[in-house]
Amino acid sequence: MKRILLSLVMIVLASSTAVGATRAYYFDNETSNGNQFTAGSLDLNVDGGDENVIKFTVTNMHVGSQNIGTWRLRNVGSLLGYLDLQNIVVTSSENGINDPEDEAGDTTVDVGELQDQVSLSKLFWDNDCDGWVGTGETSVYDGKVGSIASNYETNKALAAGAEQCLTGQFNWWNNGASDNLAQGDSFTLDMTFELGQTTAQ
């Protein structure tokens, strides 16, 4: 009986050696390890930062006033983006009606008229950032401040690392007798610059 068991053990050992022998084929491995995926970025700076920029604080406006300001819009991200102007809001204040306003027929005590006398002429892409309209510098808006739209889908391309200037020229041309309606009035202008990934935004 012992001999039969020993024989069986030897057969098993021999067969396992045979199995081992059948695995010894040629082979070769190469690798593709460490594949990495990193997101790009879209990040807009205005005048070198991420804080709200008050570009204009104008007092004592009058017929003949001209105020020019330039926003510097820079794409500090790594992807191409497209600029739009959004959330444009003009808010007027009457600040009381004085004698010349009264004589000019200003009866709207809660609504100022300054935004209807002052022209934003122009709001334009100031490619050379010099504050003046030059060749190839296209207009975003040209008209009275009070008539500006709330959004402009300008889709102005701004490459990673690139800067684009936008200039606003606020001019109070002579409008005749209606200018007196705006004595002492004020308006605020709010505007948001959006750097979007696509032109559909």
Told to check if 194 binds Ca ion by CB under 5 A, we report no
DSSP string for residues in 114-168: HHHHSEEEEEEE-TT-SSS--TT--EEEEEEGGG--S-EEEEEEE-TT-EEEEEE
Lay out the sheet containing 139-144: strands in order across: 44-46, 66-75, 163-171, 119-125, 139-144
The distance between the two most distant Cα atoms of the chain, rounded to a whole number of Å, is 132
Of 94, 123, 125, 145, the one binding Ca ion by CB under 5 A: 94
Q: CA 84 to CA 200: how far, in whole Å?
A: 10
Among 61, 83, 116, 126, which residue sits at the site for Ca ion (rule: CB under 5 A)?
126
Instruction: Check residue 128 for interaction with Ca ion (CB under 5 A).
Output: yes
The single residue among 84, 106, 116, 179 that binds Ca ion, judged by CB under 5 A, is 106
Residue with CB nearest Ca ion? 108
For residue 84, state whether it binds Ca ion (rule: CB under 5 A).
no
Residue 30, judged by CB atoms within 10 A of its CB (0-12, 13-18, 19+), counts as exposed
Residue among 87, 83, 65 nearest 169 (CA): 65
**CB 139 to Ca ion: min, Å:** 12
95 touches Ca ion (CB under 5 A): no
How near is the Cβ of 25 to Ca ion at its closest, in Å?
A: 59
Residue number, 102 or 190, with CB nearest to Ca ion: 102
Residue 116 sits in the site that holds Ca ion (CB under 5 A): no
130: contact with Ca ion by CB under 5 A? yes
Contacts to Ca ion by CB under 5 A: 43-44, 50, 94, 101, 106, 108, 111, 113, 126, 128, 130, 132, 134, 181, 185
